[in-house]
Structure 1
């Protein structure tokens, strides 16, 4: 207890005395939260300066942070369609304590808060999920129709449970957020540097309010459409394995003997593969909301959102078999120095197998969200409720065709951050070279997620130290269904190789020394269309049947009730906050099939008491100390509970679920010191610690399947571990500077997070997945007259991608990553503005390695993108 008490009671004294304590405000569509103090937006004086633009949005975000009854950070749009990034995941990297991950094409597609990826995501307080994941994949949601978002880093009893890292609430506007008629629209053209293509991006919102004989009615209609082109260039390996059959490393005259001679152990990958990857993603949303106020004390709302995300990717990969039964004959080994002396710097193979693999995938899915609710108040009583339904479903398909040849000589180089391979004696651009077998791979997945829910919340306001009491309940019934098939036969093409192939681009990593830049590959038209792929491979045109052993049907019923007391009193200095308790009862039922195709079902239930307390002490009107404690749980992702095993037969990898996963629990301790000054300025520092039990991490082990060794990744519960750290944030506009320099501003944050989680059956600890120990974000801002610009640089240190259970030295690490983005807005008048955005200006690389940088596995160059658009509002 002493360490925890020390954490909560320790905070550095921060004081900066620049500017006035007054706050500034813009009439933004995002509503301020309950529990605002005397400095809140509702209490500002009429003669206060009103700021707009980027500065106005930052001022509103600072005010939301200041007035919140818990530790939070926010992003507020200047107007609908004017958030600074194109998808929500990329928005989040601007917030301290939040780190994002990017896919191989450079798009932000994952995030962790305070070191944990288990984050509850809501839209206007309503839970959001994606098919079989509890956390929404925010890559698939455009930022164009949002009015802002909040990241809550401490819990309150009235919020939905399930987030260990925190809760992200996304704001979608409602008609009563505006004073009257409002229209906002954005049109832009985006350019992908790698694909050399231009794509459209359109969004718009129309809202109005009407006085009728039945009360005031507001109607809002919005929509968004965009096509996103992206690309990535990559050289990679698969997992390294130990072998004693390659080379007489110890010089005793023998190797490849039984029993194995450990002195001949060599650690190498089984493949080295340069690859081009391009993506084409369509995102569209239709959103409608109605509010009706039949009287001054009752408001009824209804809204519906229909969104579609259609992701398509196309890859061209050259795979050289560097280990295994078909690798060829090895020779000419050159070894690294310690500590990884059994990993060669380079070696040569004769008669090596070379495969040109062309693949594509489609991941279209649709999400429907419907909600109907009310807000009623009478004197000290407030009552609100909402019934909601979410349906998210869609298939995932991928297919590939591999044509094969042999190279008289292949030289593998593992000496740098980019693994490379060079071949000689064969023309990789000639159809006549590919005379070997052809491998076809086909994977299909169908997933459905559905959840009806209902909540009811009541508040009774009091006079005295207890300012209000809150009680409420929530019920949710979630069903997740998943089916998977996967095949990989050897086939004979129905057409000659020369008539169905084309040359790849020839600019792979042109700024690095990569020996192979171009080869022959199956034409894209035969791969992008699944029917044509199957016809070329000579297989059935219909989808394969889904094996029952890969089926699961999961049903979860959750009841939650809570009580919370909000308080405010004076103990020599003003103290306010909340104290609450949430009780959650979870019952689930799972249906699967065993290896003999017999149906197997099981049930489980568990109950959790989740206390929370948030305290704010006001040393002055501008200097606050916040202390918080909460207990949290998160349930396993539905996809992680699936018994299905999906194999990639070309890359010799696979992934599967674990139906025995249990919920993860955490005791959470937070302290934050915040100082506000000037119109938009503040500096804050916070400490946090999470004591985690049953953390779920993915571990990889080698498994032999049908005589072939695969690296299989599965999730497991670990024991107890700790995540702790601190973050510092500073935001200021330099009004005191003369003339045009007074438009300068700065926003920066730094986060340190340390994690130590146990490995099942071993005495070691490992870092949490996707967590960087160090990260920071620096944003330079200028806003004066019609010009508004900002440049943001983000950096994060190395992080674990996947832990390797049987050998921590083979844990897959992401090397440090960086990004530099730029945005410029020019306001033609108060209604029309032009905007230019550039992302990943440095065309940064992603590097991955096993254990240490001496064992490289991935070098991935990310796409650079530009966007030019116009925004109008009335």
Structure 2
């Protein structure tokens, strides 16, 4: 890895190269003024300004500078610089999901060509995405020409986004203004600083048109080296100091070994004093604890205070250390192939037919290895511990230390395609009909087996722990963690086969009729949309452990499936006995061991066990198995009109949308030891009125007002059955709630713009949202017949209890069901957006800037509602300085997101602890030079993402308690584009 000074030199060289190229071209004699045509980035800004000015609703748009040309790598990155927009990034630094105006990504609806789509992926590595998020990094920008973020709805817009709707539009043949054959080719090399590798990215678009027919085809191929280096922990924990050491008196059923009063409430999975006994309540130093400790020494209050000078016993007991602190490394490859085909037929000025097909195939293969310092349930002995003002441990030596390796190779396969035919008819000057159909399919498969082994206890291992407030470090003593022969043991280890499959299907038909001209018209329409999501987890972990590290196969060649007894590798039938374990390990590239997967899998019958894994109730992403089938019928009425007030134009859009949704919720339940799928049904409807207006105060000043109701359907994970009885008489049960009402938003917007000329304008918008529909745990009295469980599937004892005179039998009996219910409170969001796009041609021809700022304030009212929506920054801003002339272009963009909450509080049973994402700013460079007059007008581009190498970091409760830290590094893209 290059050192920091060489990195800085390299970054400076990249920037200097771009600036030098631009300055050199600035010496070229400009063309006569009458021959200057606005192109490139300025043309993109001009198109976005024109679209905003013409829209009655509040819309932000991004246009391709030219067909097949976006500087951003994916759609999430392309919309990131809009006001009120925030994107989430995966561990590799890629933008994935979009949040709008103070609500998380599950409240954003994404459409393709104004039609509903669904993608089966789970999002980032540790995400669930069991809701309705769309991963926008699956769509390369080269095949798309326009992205719109619709912040205020109109009645003709599909419902589903309380926060807003992002519509992406693929390239079409008549996007090219000239007839005949035209093509665009892009060749790029993408250098990733973190792994010092270069990945190829290729794309091509070709189209042919005449007066009536057009065809377009495009393909994008991206092979990327995936690497991230960082740090993770599963929360924080404290030392469980017993009564016998605290000096307090046990009460009730407590013993001297129970946590004493010097402990704050348990953080969950606490670490323990070594050798504590129930009768004495103090510990004993074990054999070979390391760090110079003598075996048999009593660990009492005096010992802990003496070995940790300057601390009180309360500070020792409540010092926060990582539960499982670990350096984390992920390394592998991603292959993504995306194609688009678009056909368009225009037999007359009154008829147009089109067909769009978009498809993506993506594979990811990467290895994830973590080396965990065992805090939770461990028996480390703290020495020389120091804490900060929040009692977060800043440094310590831990004797009797133990580590475990968590090695997990990922294999993912994602497929998506969408078919979107449609037609437009104009019967006369006033009557038009649009018909559009859509159908999408997506499936996703993930295999992610886990091999977990430990360092042995009582081998003199200690660790020096340093927490500098950024990335904690663990320096071991008494062991070489990169030595396969260091005594690694099965004891306490485990194996996991936890695979996951997801499938999504969407189908729809939309019919819209308009009577009137473009300005004054009435629109009515109907829509029918269905969406189906299926998630299935498969688990064969116990059988794999039987084969590898327990009793092996029986005489018939089958696993006896002994359950999850501890792996020990001591059985003669184990395929990898303890004595042979080291031969399946190898030195790793990151300072600790790795697993020889090919050898390990072949020896343990992994592939057959993986293929025969039975379906479970959940997957290793934490997503529950189940199927959500939604059938929605909608219709709308919309009036668009223009009038005058005081001699100035007033444009009005008013209407209402009605949507009725029927849901079939299916999921696995196990009753009386029998696993089966259970079906639950529900139905709800909603009226969604909307009003948008613009008033032209002058030719260049426009005022806006909007009011609306919006809808987002409830979280599928809260509706899946998961029915269980908590008593033998079937009186109480837990179950998902298919009758959850959707989230509803009541929205108000007021603002306006002053258009200063060309692409320039200054805009201000104030907005307010009131969101209801959040869920809390509650109880309902539900007739047994409505549980969806066959009576004969219950145990005999449960059937007898329901048939008793007091319950009245299955047709009468009720059950108290604990489930998620809609809370009565609301989340109120207030915000302001300021945008300024300003050309500075008066200073230098082609110079300008594009800036925006968003401020959001959140407040809850009533019960059962989160104080804030997680993942949303209170303040965000973007600033882009651009210069474009003489074929050269350069842009510097800085995007900033203030820190935001990533979870609620009470993490690990610590009330003050919540997950918090650090504030982060990212500087990006985009530069290019077009060789005009050369065949194909080749354009050389140099783009640098994350120029200053900003990391991604979250904390646990306190700024000094790092939760995750990922370093995606800087990414440099050198490309050549040509059109013919």
TM-score range, shorter chain: 0.7 to 0.9
Report what 1:678 is aligned to: 757
Report deviation, 1:353. 2.0
Question: For 1:256 and 1:862, how far apart are their aligned partners in 2?
Answer: 49
Question: For 1:119 and 1:220, how far apart are their aligned partners in 2?
Answer: 30
Secondary structure of the residue that 1:615 maps to in structure 2?
strand
Report deviation, 1:210. 3.1
C-alpha contact (below 8 Å) 2:840/2:846 kept by paired residues: yes
Report deviation, 1:526. 6.1
Report what 1:593 is aligned to: 668
Q: Pick from 918, 931, 938 the counterpart of residue 832 of structure 1.
A: 938
C-alpha contact (below 8 Å) 1:352/1:408 kept by paired residues: yes
- Pair 1:616 & 2:694 matched: yes
Report deviation, 1:194. 1.8
User: Aligned in 2, Cα 1:315/1:84: closer, same or farther, shift over 3 Å?
Assistant: same
Give the alignment of 1:407-556 within 5 angstroms. Answer: 408-414=461-467, 416-437=469-490, 438-461=493-516, 467-486=520-539, 488-489=541-542, 490=545, 491-492=548-549, 494=576, 496-506=580-590, 518-523=591-596, 535=605, 540-547=609-616, 551-556=625-630
User: Aligned in 2, Cα 1:346/1:533: closer, same or farther, shift over 3 Å?
Assistant: farther
Which is worse superposed, 227-236 or 635-644? 635-644
Question: For 2:576 and 2:939, how far apart are their aligned partners in 1?
Answer: 55
Question: For 2:821 and 2:327, how far apart are their aligned partners in 1?
Answer: 32
When you count strand as a share of all residues, which structure comes out higher? 1
Question: For 2:837 and 2:247, how far apart are their aligned partners in 1?
Answer: 63
Q: Pick from 153, 161, 164 the counterpart of residue 163 of structure 1.
A: 161
Secondary structure of the residue that 1:59 maps to in structure 2?
helix
C-alpha contact (below 8 Å) 1:157/1:563 kept by paired residues: yes
Which is worse superposed, 749-758 or 147-156? 749-758
Question: For 2:229 and 2:850, how far apart are their aligned partners in 1?
Answer: 32
RMSD value, Cα: 3.0
Question: For 2:866 and 2:644, how far apart are their aligned partners in 1?
Answer: 45
Report what 2:293 is aligned to: none
Encode CA deviations 1:829-869: one digit per residue, 9 max, x unaligned: 26221111111121111221122214322222223211111
User: Aligned in 2, Cα 1:760/1:352: closer, same or farther, shift over 3 Å?
Assistant: farther
Report deviation, 1:83. 1.0
User: Aligned in 2, Cα 1:279/1:665: closer, same or farther, shift over 3 Å?
Assistant: farther
C-alpha contact (below 8 Å) 2:150/2:166 kept by paired residues: yes
Question: For 1:281 and 1:434, how far apart are their aligned partners in 2?
Answer: 35
Question: For 1:48 and 1:625, how far apart are their aligned partners in 2?
Answer: 35
C-alpha contact (below 8 Å) 2:918/2:955 kept by paired residues: yes
Secondary structure of the residue that 1:89 maps to in structure 2?
helix
User: Aligned in 2, Cα 1:52/1:618: closer, same or farther, shift over 3 Å?
Assistant: same
Secondary structure of the residue that 1:853 maps to in structure 2?
strand
User: Aligned in 2, Cα 1:552/1:758: closer, same or farther, shift over 3 Å?
Assistant: farther
Secondary structure of the residue that 1:417 maps to in structure 2?
coil
User: Aligned in 2, Cα 1:432/1:565: closer, same or farther, shift over 3 Å?
Assistant: same
C-alpha contact (below 8 Å) 1:661/1:717 kept by paired residues: yes
- Pair 1:206 & 2:206 matched: yes
Report deviation, 1:579. 0.3
Secondary structure of the residue that 1:194 maps to in structure 2?
coil
Secondary structure of the residue that 1:472 maps to in structure 2?
strand
Question: For 2:506 and 2:478, how far apart are their aligned partners in 1?
Answer: 59
Report what 1:509 is aligned to: none
Secondary structure of the residue that 2:78 maps to in structure 1?
helix
Report what 1:301 is aligned to: 354
Which is worse superposed, 434-443 or 488-497? 488-497
Encode CA deviations 1:181-240: one digit per residue, 9 max, x unaligned: 3211211111222222222111111111235xxxx1111111111112232211221122
Encode CA deviations 1:252-278: one digit per residue, 9 max, x unaligned: 699983664232332443211111122
Secondary structure of the residue that 2:615 maps to in structure 1?
coil
User: Aligned in 2, Cα 1:260/1:103: closer, same or farther, shift over 3 Å?
Assistant: same
User: Aligned in 2, Cα 1:720/1:533: closer, same or farther, shift over 3 Å?
Assistant: farther
Question: For 1:590 and 1:765, how far apart are their aligned partners in 2?
Answer: 26
Structure 2 residue runs of 5 or longer lacking an equivalent are: 1-32, 121-129, 265-317, 550-574, 619-623, 724-734, 778-818
Report what 1:866 is aligned to: 972
C-alpha contact (below 8 Å) 1:245/1:256 kept by paired residues: no
Q: Pick from 227, 231, 241 the counterpart of residue 231 of structure 1.
A: 227
Structure 1 residue runs of 5 or longer lacking an equivalent are: 1-45, 507-517, 646-655, 699-713
Encode CA deviations 1:560-591: one digit per residue, 9 max, x unaligned: 10000001111113210200100010111112
Secondary structure of the residue that 2:482 maps to in structure 1?
coil
Q: Pick from 335, 340, 357 the counterpart of residue 387 of structure 2.
A: 335
Report deviation, 1:400. 2.1
User: Aligned in 2, Cα 1:473/1:541: closer, same or farther, shift over 3 Å?
Assistant: closer
Normalising by structure 2, report the TM-score. 0.75
C-alpha contact (below 8 Å) 2:242/2:256 kept by paired residues: no
User: Aligned in 2, Cα 1:593/1:359: closer, same or farther, shift over 3 Å?
Assistant: closer
User: Aligned in 2, Cα 1:638/1:323: closer, same or farther, shift over 3 Å?
Assistant: closer
Q: Pick from 957, 965, 971 the counterpart of residue 851 of structure 1.
A: 957
Report what 1:106 is aligned to: 93
Encode CA deviations 1:109-132: one digit per residue, 9 max, x unaligned: 122111122111111111222126
- Pair 1:583 & 2:668 matched: no
Report what 1:175 is aligned to: 173
User: Aligned in 2, Cα 1:849/1:154: closer, same or farther, shift over 3 Å?
Assistant: same
User: Aligned in 2, Cα 1:162/1:268: closer, same or farther, shift over 3 Å?
Assistant: same
User: Aligned in 2, Cα 1:198/1:244: closer, same or farther, shift over 3 Å?
Assistant: same
User: Aligned in 2, Cα 1:269/1:153: closer, same or farther, shift over 3 Å?
Assistant: same
Report deviation, 1:456. 0.2
Report deviation, 1:683. 1.2
Secondary structure of the residue that 2:921 maps to in structure 1?
strand
Encode CA deviations 1:709-762: one digit per residue, 9 max, x unaligned: xxxxx998653111111111111121101xxx323211111111122347965x
Encode CA deviations 1:66-92: one digit per residue, 9 max, x unaligned: 111211111111123311200111112
Report what 1:145 is aligned to: 143
C-alpha contact (below 8 Å) 1:403/1:434 kept by paired residues: no
Report what 2:3 is aligned to: none
Report what 1:37 is aligned to: none
User: Aligned in 2, Cα 1:58/1:354: closer, same or farther, shift over 3 Å?
Assistant: same
Q: Pick from 98, 114, 117 the counterpart of residue 125 of structure 1.
A: 114
Encode CA deviations 1:454-476: one digit per residue, 9 max, x unaligned: 0000111169xx81100001101
Give the alignment of 1:211-290 within 5 angstroms. Answer: 211=211, 216-241=212-237, 244-245=240-241, 257=256, 260-265=259-264, 266=318, 267-290=320-343
User: Aligned in 2, Cα 1:782/1:327: closer, same or farther, shift over 3 Å?
Assistant: farther
Question: For 1:97 and 1:244, how far apart are their aligned partners in 2?
Answer: 45
Encode CA deviations 1:394-413: one digit per residue, 9 max, x unaligned: 21221221231146212434
Secondary structure of the residue that 2:958 maps to in structure 1?
coil
C-alpha contact (below 8 Å) 2:684/2:741 kept by paired residues: no
Normalising by structure 1, report the TM-score. 0.83
Question: For 1:756 and 1:834, how far apart are their aligned partners in 2?
Answer: 49
User: Aligned in 2, Cα 1:790/1:641: closer, same or farther, shift over 3 Å?
Assistant: farther
Give the alignment of 1:677-756 within 5 angstroms. Answer: 677-695=756-774, 719-737=825-843, 741-756=844-859
User: Aligned in 2, Cα 1:51/1:294: closer, same or farther, shift over 3 Å?
Assistant: same
Aligned residues: 775
Which is greater in Rg?
A: 2
Report what 1:344 is aligned to: 393
Question: For 1:453 and 1:110, how far apart are their aligned partners in 2?
Answer: 24
Report what 1:372 is aligned to: 421
Question: For 1:415 and 1:126, how far apart are their aligned partners in 2?
Answer: 50
Report what 1:90 is aligned to: 77
Question: For 1:129 and 1:716, how far apart are their aligned partners in 2?
Answer: 26
Question: For 2:957 and 2:67, how far apart are their aligned partners in 1?
Answer: 45
Report deviation, 1:619. 0.8
C-alpha contact (below 8 Å) 1:83/1:148 kept by paired residues: no
User: Aligned in 2, Cα 1:546/1:765: closer, same or farther, shift over 3 Å?
Assistant: closer
